[in-house]
Structure 1
Amino acid sequence: MDYLPIAVALIATASSIAIYYYLFTRAKKPCPPNLPPGSLGLPVIGQSLALLRAMRGDGGGRWIRERIDRYGPVSKLSLFGTPTVLMAGPAANKFMFFNSALSTRQPPSVQRILGKNSILDLHGADHRRVRGALLEFLKPDMLKMYVGRIDGEVRRHLEENWAGRATVTVLPLMKRLTFDIISALLFGLERGAARDSLAGDFVRMIEGMWAIPVNLPFTAFSRSLKASGRARRVLEGITREKKARQLEHGHGKASSNNDLITCLLSLTDGHGDQLLTDEEIVDNAMVTLIAGHDTSSILMAFMVRQLANDPVTLAAMVQEHEEIAKNKADGEALTWEDLTKMKFTWRVAQETLRIVPPVFGNFRRALEDIEFDGYFIPKGWQVIC
């Protein structure tokens, strides 16, 4: 069967609907006064393609600077199907993070991939409840338990992918290492076919989060939604298994073998009921995987690049690690106390974060009509800073 005519027909139909909406439906809506300068562009597409092209070429920062040069530090545009206000500068950051009229909701397309119950899309009492639950997993006493498991994942990764090789491609390896660590700590998922399958679906999910939100069979967004569904079913199965195991053996306190899902299942409210629903646990496991993956892997990749070009800093960092290694037996895992001695390494990481921030920007959603720098931002619009 020849799918080309069908694809052409679908594109033509979608284009006709978009043009009708733009010329007749949207044109009838009154334009709020004093909107920021700029253009919303074509429906659905907006400026998304231009931004995605810039980011593929590592030019996201340049794209933003060009917008600022053209429109100033506040401008309107459309990203991923939603009207958006782009802000820049210290005052914008303060407004973004300390304004109760702005929620942490992500673009609708991202919500469809990650789920509607993630901490990124909640506010008020629900946000505080989920945030408190996630912080239980991230308490220092819990983090100390995970150092040895992380050390084991790193050792295996280096032996399999780095040892004996003259050259390596760093970023893909850092992404896989980060995924393996997160899979072990968050889901208790051991190495094997299930983890490998989830890794493939995770890559497709990421590709769709930064894509035009058109759900047609040949689009990245469609592939991402399908991958998200498969990943969600895996996490739902893991959650059911761990919940059944807890019911069989009793809840008890989290131990060194606990992962995020086990930890969240063990939390109860004041009435003894499970604090988070199973759906909330799965959605927030998904978003924690996304949030922890790219930031960590990109930071480590850029640290390698910075150190490769700075032999003095590299030598100082190696010396710090050799001092720690002197007091360890052969093959002995690192401990939390060992990490606290890596003060120079920590400063290198912080400086790398300053030079090359791994996060492109933060999205918020206006819960009501608001104003910034004399410009009107309608309720429901996105804000990115």
Structure 2
Amino acid sequence: MEVLALVVSLALLAFTFALITYKRSGRGSQLPPGSFGWPILGETIEFLFGKPEKFVADRMNKYSPDIFKTKILGENTAVICGANGHKFIFTNEQRYFTVFRPHSTQRLFRSNENKAPDAPPPPPTKNSEEIKSVKQQGFLKPEALKRYLPKMDSITHQLLQTNWAGKSVVLVHPTAKLATLTLASQFFLGINNPDRISRLVDLFDKVTLGLHCTVLNFPGTTYRRGQTAAAAIRKELQIVIQEKKQAMASGAPMQDILSHLIVATDPSGKTVPEAEIADKIMGLLTAGYSTVATTITFFMKYVGLNPKIYKKIRAEQMEIAASKKPGELLEWEDLDKMKYTWNVVCETMRIVPPLQGTFREVLTEFTYAGYTVPKGWKVYWTVSSTNMNPKYFRDPETFDPSRYDEGEAPLPYSYAPFGGGPRMCPGKEYARLAILAFVHNAAKNYKWEVVDPYEKVEGDMMPEPQNGLPIRLHQQQ
């Protein structure tokens, strides 16, 4: 009898535990269709190592064009799809959603000083949010960027002159990464040290790859390489912070974000710790690095494969150049004259999104398309459900900049390379300036052809050409 009572007790305990888990996971409601995949791993492998647009499209076809469930990066996740899905997410920020960063990203972008290796990352502080809104976003507004555009033009011109002049074949992707990091370093840090920046490129590549990966902390893994690179960047940035403090003490003007972070204080008058400043600057540099470099690279590819498109871009840029006096640099008004060039950039971002999507955490249970998404789940927003969908773009496989002409703009919420709503990328205008400054100098001085039109594209979350996109240059007069 004692054995029977023990078995019954254990069975009741197991049933109670299963019921609690069932209710907490939301299975008492009608969850979105889909699969959580393998135990522990879920569908992370398919998500990270398959094409993201294929991952999304396959499940939209199999389960629902509106929403499906999955488990990626250790999280129960609802993927909300289509233009209506974009609208729902963008218009319900803070009501249903808050920011969520994958665990690998959380661990890479926090100082490891005085913390155990596996300690959870600290929550954002009120001071952190104030700095972000008051300082960073202020610097990224058009009125601030307007003053920086001529310097962007000058830096890009010098960099292309140094790396491309007199050469018949060059690699676009390394040049785009160097140019992008150089511009970001000047803008965010106020430094233009070519040797230092060249050393940082490889480190930022490793950090970028580590943003979306499984947290496997042993030698040889993507996460470990990203973690090691982040530590090296953080160390270099702390040296830069010391240099900046010395320069400011000597009366140097505060013309960059780093200077303002150094003097920022919280309500009690305390300044931000150097380790926290380094983390924030590393995040800013990363955000302004890989996505811009990716767009520049694939812009150069598609233009190099389309002589007619190049001819129109060249004419537009030369008209701007002809309006300038010798040595006069780009001004804000010139950007309004680059309408066709920007259409080509937009089409590049549609075909090859520089960022596939972002995560949110569900603040309160909600219903969408007849399905319930429980509190605590994650929501994944992705461009993949619209960018290549013939419902929103005619002949979506065709590279066609004319689809952005006046009167032919994409349907609302169908094209959102920078996100939307309150969480639209605050660096959108900065990215536009960096890309157009590069294009202006490239098209003004060179014609180019893609050496290998069929070069393999590696990376799924962050695409890049396998061999760096070699192009054949022809100097223009």
TM-score tier (shorter): 0.7 to 0.9
The corresponding residue for 1:70 is 62
Deviation at 1:66, TM superposition (A): 0.4
The corresponding residue for 1:89 is 82
Q: d(CA) in 1 for partners of 2:327 and 2:251?
A: 35
Q: Which runs of 5+ in 1 are unaligned?
A: 1-24
Deviations 1:164-215 (A, max 9, x none): 3333332332222212211222122332443222222111111212322211
Output the aligned Cα RMSD: 3.1
Deviation at 1:360, TM superposition (A): 0.4
SS at match of 2:289: helix
Q: d(CA) in 2 for partners of 1:317 and 1:285?
A: 34
Instruction: Check conservation: 2:135, 2:257, Cα contact below 8 A.
Output: no
Deviations 1:211-262 (A, max 9, x none): 222111221101111111111222233224323543x25797x4xxx22211
The corresponding residue for 1:150 is 152
Deviation at 1:356, TM superposition (A): 3.7
Q: d(CA) in 2 for partners of 1:322 and 1:112?
A: 47
Matched, 1:296 2:292: yes
Matched, 1:281 2:277: yes
Q: d(CA) in 1 for partners of 2:280 and 2:306?
A: 39
Q: d(CA) in 2 for partners of 1:348 and 1:216?
A: 42
Matched to 1:85, the amino acid is: A
Shift in CA distance, 377/236, structure 1 to aligned 2, threshold 3 Å: farther
Deviation at 1:329, TM superposition (A): 4.7
Equivalences for 1:102-113 in 2 at 5 Å?
102-113=97-108
The corresponding residue for 1:22 is none
The corresponding residue for 1:378 is 374
SS at match of 2:297: helix
Q: d(CA) in 2 for partners of 1:339 and 1:266?
A: 33
Q: d(CA) in 1 for partners of 2:103 and 2:344?
A: 36
Shift in CA distance, 115/370, structure 1 to aligned 2, threshold 3 Å: farther
TM-score computed with the length of structure 2 as normaliser? 0.65
Q: d(CA) in 2 for partners of 1:370 and 1:282?
A: 38
Match of 1:347 among 343, 346, 356: 343
Shift in CA distance, 315/175, structure 1 to aligned 2, threshold 3 Å: same
Matched to 1:148, the amino acid is: P
TM-score computed with the length of structure 1 as normaliser? 0.79
Deviations 1:23-57 (A, max 9, x none): xx999832422222222233553222212222xxx
Instruction: Check conservation: 2:73, 2:102, Cα contact below 8 A.
Output: yes
The corresponding residue for 1:262 is 259
Matched to 1:68, the amino acid is: M
Equivalences for 1:194-213 in 2 at 5 Å?
194-213=196-215
Matched to 2:45, the amino acid is: L
Deviation at 1:142, TM superposition (A): 2.2
Deviations 1:68-127 (A, max 9, x none): 1112132222222222211101232122222222112211211111238xxxx8598854
Deviates more, 1:125-134 or 1:228-237: 125-134
Q: d(CA) in 1 for partners of 2:86 and 2:127?
A: 24
Q: d(CA) in 1 for partners of 2:327 and 2:135?
A: 35
SS at match of 1:384: strand
Match of 1:80 among 46, 68, 73: 73
The corresponding residue for 1:164 is 166
Q: d(CA) in 1 for partners of 2:165 and 2:207?
A: 30
Shift in CA distance, 134/277, structure 1 to aligned 2, threshold 3 Å: farther
Name whichever structure is richer in helix by fraction: 1
Deviation at 1:348, TM superposition (A): 2.8
Equivalences for 1:1-385 in 2 at 5 Å?
29-30=21-22, 31-32=25-26, 33=28, 34-54=30-50, 59-72=51-64, 73-99=66-92, 100=94, 101-115=96-110, 122=124, 127=129, 129-246=131-248, 248-249=249-250, 254=254, 258-267=255-264, 274=271, 278-385=274-381
SS at match of 1:168: strand
Matched to 1:109, the amino acid is: S
Instruction: Check conservation: 2:177, 2:289, Cα contact below 8 A.
Output: yes
Q: Percent identity?
A: 31
Deviates more, 1:234-243 or 1:64-73: 234-243
SS at match of 2:356: coil
Q: d(CA) in 2 for partners of 1:287 and 1:307?
A: 31
Q: d(CA) in 2 for partners of 1:318 and 1:70?
A: 45
Q: d(CA) in 1 for partners of 2:186 and 2:379?
A: 34
Q: d(CA) in 2 for partners of 1:273 and 1:220?
A: 37
Instruction: Check conservation: 1:45, 1:212, Cα contact below 8 A.
Output: no
Q: d(CA) in 2 for partners of 1:92 and 1:145?
A: 37
Deviations 1:135-155 (A, max 9, x none): 221233321222232223212
